[in-house]
Amino acid sequence: MRSHHAVVYAIARPVATGRLLKDGKTWLIGRIAVLKECRRKQVGKLVVENLLERAAEMGAEEVHVHAQTCATGFYEKFGFLTHGGTFLESNIEHISMVKKIRDLDSFHT
């Protein structure tokens, strides 16, 4: 007996986002967010790596991020280091992190 199956794939759905901007002389990444159900599947990594590559192409020597303190471990994977104390942004605890752009290979070494 043969059967026919109809399957719908939502392949064009955005699941993660992030931005890179230059504020004066400072390159900043931010607004990194991955849909809850897509987290811990290396999707955020794709976003950050893409933004770091873009920053390198555009001549950035270092890139900064205001990281939520619960996400510092994520950014450390890319070689970001914390500096300074914590501060509140939108009532959420953050800390500044910076990465020298030359060591793009440092992810998962």
Binding site for ligand COA (CB under 6 A): 32-34, 39-45, 67-68, 70-71, 73-74, 77
**Nearest approach, Cβ of residue 82 and ligand COA (Å):** 12
Nearer to ligand COA, 27 or 74 (CB): 74
Distance in angstroms (rounded) separating the CA atoms of residues 17 and 100: 22
Instruction: Report helix, strand or coil for 103.
Output: helix
Shortest Cβ contact with ligand COA: which residue?
Answer: 44
**Nearest approach, Cβ of residue 79 and ligand COA (Å):** 12
Distance in angstroms (rounded) separating the CA atoms of residues 59 and 56: 5
22 phi, psi to nearest 5 deg: -110, 115
**Nearest approach, Cβ of residue 5 and ligand COA (Å):** 30
Q: How many CB atoms lie within 10 A of CB 3?
A: 4
Q: Can you say how many angstroms the Cα of residue 89 is from the centroid of all Cα atoms in its chain?
A: 18
Nearer to ligand COA, 50 or 62 (CB): 50
Nearer to ligand COA, 43 or 58 (CB): 43
**Nearest approach, Cβ of residue 61 and ligand COA (Å):** 22
Its sign, for the CA torsion 30, 68, 107, 33, is negative
